[in-house]
Chain A
Amino acid sequence: KAGVTQTPRYLIKTRGQQVTLSCSPISGHRSVSWYQQTPGQGLQFLFEYFSETQRNKGNFPGRFSGRQFSNSRSEMNVSTLELGDSALYLCASSLTGDAYNEQFFGPGTRLTVL
């Protein structure tokens, strides 16, 4: 069974630009969560989607948005990039997103904002 895939793996952008990251979950998984990981803040929850609906959102500004498609693939978008948005962005899929489900993480997208 193929794992969670994320594209692109690396991205360099400049301040003010926008970026779209993509995540393909494990086949059959309907929940996709997104996280931002930085050395200072650790792994922080961005949002979770299930059946194309956002069920929970973390404490991030509105510049961070996401969506999920009918095939469970998900994208996240960051508009008006700031230097502080440089981070590893991870997505994770699980069967239903319930607390007893393990999450399977992708390799991440390393975003650098110059």
Chain B
Amino acid sequence: SQKIEQNSEALNIQEGKTATLTCNYTNYSPAYLQWYRQDPGRGPVFLLLIRENEKEKRKERLKVTFDTTLKQSLFHITASQPADSATYLCALNPTGTYKYIFGTGTRLKVLA
């Protein structure tokens, strides 16, 4: 069956450290993968998009990798801050469709 899995348990890290979140998918061959941030009671906010032919994408303190062989994307936040505390969701668009499938999200808490 088709699945997108993220660490369901919360991730607690110390301020200043690098947070690494994982997104694994099975039975999909997406051309693009997206990452979103969601704060409690709010809609998700787009962060980054990476294409299948890109190994890595950066934006300020954020970095995303995309390994189509492993069927995995990693999302890194360097020099993490308490304001980075939120739930992070990965999403992909099955080829040939206009629907987005979201992972269950990983709740990140950055401790001061």
Interface residues, chain A, with chain B CB atoms under 8 Å away: 4, 31, 33, 35, 42-45, 48, 50, 55-56, 58, 90, 92, 97-100, 102-108
Cα separation A45 to B100 with both chains bound (whole Å): 7
Nearest A residue to B100 via CB reads A45
Flag if B99 contacts A103 (CB, 8 Å).
no
For B92, what are the chain A residues with a Cβ–Cβ distance below 8 Å?
A: 99
Cα separation A55 to B97 with both chains bound (whole Å): 8
Say if the beta carbon of B51 comes within 8 Å of chain A: yes
* Chain A contact residues, majority secondary structure: strand
Flag if A45 contacts B46 (CB, 8 Å).
no
* 27 intermolecular pairs with C-beta atoms under 8 Å apart: A4-B43, A33-B99, A33-B100, A35-B102, A42-B102, A42-B103, A42-B105, A44-B102, A45-B100, A48-B98, A50-B98, A56-B97, A58-B99, A90-B43, A98-B98, A99-B32, A100-B32, A100-B49, A102-B49, A103-B44, A103-B100, A105-B43, A105-B44, A105-B45, A106-B43, A107-B42, A108-B42
Using A43-B89, A56-B97, A56-B98 as known contacts, say yes or no to A99 and B103 having CB atoms under 8 A apart. Answer: no
Closest CB-CB distance, A104 to chain B, in whole Å?
7
Most chain A Cβ neighbours within 10 Å, of B30, B31, B34, B43: B43
Cα separation A42 to B44 with both chains bound (whole Å): 12
For A92, what are the chain B residues with a Cβ–Cβ distance below 8 Å?
A: 43-44
Set A55, A58, A108: member contacting B43, Cβ < 8 A: A108
Say if the beta carbon of B18 comes within 8 Å of chain A: no
Cα separation A103 to B38 with both chains bound (whole Å): 13
Closest CB-CB distance, A82 to chain B, in whole Å?
22
Cα separation A33 to B105 with both chains bound (whole Å): 19
Flag if B104 contacts A42 (CB, 8 Å).
yes
